[in-house]
Amino acid sequence: MAKKKDTSKTNVAARLESKAQQQVCRFCGRKPEMVRQLTPSGKVQMFRKCCAEAGLVA
């Protein structure tokens, strides 16, 4: 049996819908904003800028 050629292999509408949906931070509920920060010891640490602006992180 041959496959029908009129159907798409991937659901393009679902992909566009998920792209359009805005992500939110699980802690503060804002748009997530991550920053790489260098500690005095020389290690790199990821820092949530959105939570700091919301007042959740000191």
Averages of pLDDT over each 10 residues, the chain, 58 residues: 61 77 85 90 91 79
Domain ranges for the chain, please list them: 16-54
Per-residue pLDDT, 36? 93
Neighbouring C-beta atoms of residue 2, cutoff 10 Å:
4
Neighbouring residues of 9: CB distance < 8 A, sequence distance ≥ 6? none
Taking the whole predicted model, whether its pTM rises above 0.75 is answered as: no
